[in-house]
Amino acid sequence: MRFHGTDAILKPKGPHITSFPNKAGVAIIFALIDEIHRNKQSLSDIDGLIGDGDHGINMNKGFQMCKQRLVADTDDMSGAFRVLAQVLMDHIGGAMGPLYGSFFKAMAKASMKADPIDAGLFADMLTAAEQKVRDIGQCQLGDKTLLDVLAPASDAFKKNLANGGSFADALDAMSAAAEIGREATIDMIAKKGRASRLKERSKGVPDPGATSCCLILNTMARTVKQLLADA
Ligand code: ADP
Ligand code: MG
């Protein structure tokens, strides 16, 4: 026999919580929308140095469109990632529409039937997103793209878990690796996209896509940790 409210009473609280409800995960997408909005100018400024200066403005356009749609039909994290992916793929041109569109669609698909979301599932989401970026971008490590943040961050998350880290520990490892990955793009020569036309002259500044990917992963880490603490 089940007693009403027993779950709530017995459920442990605090940072050792290992999962969060898919529905509560909608907060991740709203946090991403805010973060891209806050950084739209600096992301475009970085793109102005080795590209055409539209990166942050374009990303923000897509994320704001997503926000408007989510107000009407917010369901869960997977559904919200799907909406974001669709908007980016349908309405955002340039390299980032298809790349981040596929990134978020992969995250939506990997988590669609999962509830709650635990660290293993989050690892699957990162793996799926990385695979899609590799497929769509035809890029490799060292090409000075968002992959130079995504791949080491995803690896660090999984390695930390494998070594016995908690969900929150692995998220910290992911964020740290993302920052290192972004910094590492400064010395790289762009091999893909618009910046590759500059050859040697693309050196000396971080890659715009790597910079936005670092922001995105850090925001995810921060929000998921908050969700774990609240669960
Ligand atoms: P555009 O270059 O079309 O103006 P953005 O400025 O929005 O697009 O994005 C530029 C970013 O896209 C680059 O910094 C890089 O990270 C990423 N990028 C471009 N081409 C590729 C590719 N083939 N594979 C992976 N990432 C790429
Ligand atoms: Mg650009």
CA distance linking residue 96 with residue 223, whole number of Å: 23
Task: Quote the pLDDT of residue 13.
Answer: 46
Instruction: State residue 2's pLDDT score.
Output: 44
Q: How sure is the predictor about 230, in pLDDT bands with cuts at 50, 70 and 90? A: confident
* Domain-wise residue ranges, the chain: 20-230
Residue with CA closest to ligand 1 atom 3? 94
pLDDT beyond 90 at 180? yes
- pLDDT bracket for residue 12 (50, 70, 90): very low
CA distance 47 to 56: 8
Of 63, 17, 22, 21, give the one whose Cα is nearest residue 40.
Answer: 63
Query: Is there an atom of ligand 1 within 6 Å of 80 CB?
Result: no
Cβ of 209 less than 6 Å from ligand 1? yes
Region of residue 31 (phi > 0: left; psi between -120 and 50: alpha; otherwise: beta): alpha
The runs of H, that is alpha helices, within the chain are: 6-10, 26-38, 40-50, 55-72, 77-91, 96-111, 119-137, 147-162, 167-184, 208-230
Query: Is the model's pTM score more than 0.85?
Result: yes
30-52 average pLDDT score: 97
Q: What six digits make up the tokens of 214?
A: 């670092």
Q: How confident is the model over 182-206, as pLDDT tens digits?
A: 999 999 999 999 999 999 999 999 9
Pocket of ligand 1 contains residue 148 by CB under 6 Å: no
**What integer pLDDT is reported at residue 80 of this predicted model?**
97
Per-residue pLDDT at 4 exceeds 80: no
Domain 20-230 sits in CATH at 1.25.40.340
Question: Measured between alpha carbons, how far apart are the two ends of the chain, in Å?
Answer: 25
